[in-house]
Structure 1
Amino acid sequence: MSITLSDSAAARVNAFLANRGKGFGLRLGVRTSGCSGMAYVLEFVDEPAAETPCLKTKA
């Protein structure tokens, strides 16, 4: 499985981070949810945790 971030999506993420005035990037996760069992979670990250793997792309 691969994750692709388009140029326009990267620009939007960077714009959101700029509007917040802080931030390191975007965290993508999966959690259990409802009947289907899994749901994607997206959240802004101000500082990455030491144990969190980071992928830098289109920054």
Structure 2
Amino acid sequence: MPIQLTEAALGRMHTFLARDPSAIGVRFGIRKTGCSGYAYTVDLAQSIAENDSVFDHDGIQVLVDAKALPFVEGTEIDYRRQGLSASFVFRNPNVTGECGCGESFTVDTKD
């Protein structure tokens, strides 16, 4: 199941990419952190690596490396504004737990 983007996330990513003409897309992944284990990362991508999966959404290339894909496959990325705050919001069907502050998440790995 691929990564999905809402209209709001697409709009925000188009804005980011327009500011950096050298970027070819958006890199979506995870990093170890927090009390639950992982946090999402969203950065501009300058190149496609050999182990990347590439998902195209309305001209936006979303790149996910092979190590992160099992943790984020099927995630829907949204973008929300609430008052003075704005951020990407992730609906990940693989999440089995989240920390109280909402900054990190856990997934069951199949070893």
Which of the pair is proportionally richer in strand? 2
Larger Rg: 2
Given the two structures, how large is their TM-score scaled by the length of structure 1?
Answer: 0.79
- Match of 1:34? 34
Runs of 4+ more than 6 Å apart? none
- Match of 1:17? 17
Given the two structures, how large is their TM-score scaled by the length of structure 2?
Answer: 0.47
CA–CA distance in 2 between the matches of 1:45 and 1:2?
18
- Gaps spanning 5+ residues in structure 1: where? none
How many positions carry a matched residue from both structures?
59
CA–CA distance in 1 between the matches of 2:46 and 2:23?
4
Q: Percent identity?
A: 32
Which of the pair is proportionally richer in helix? 1
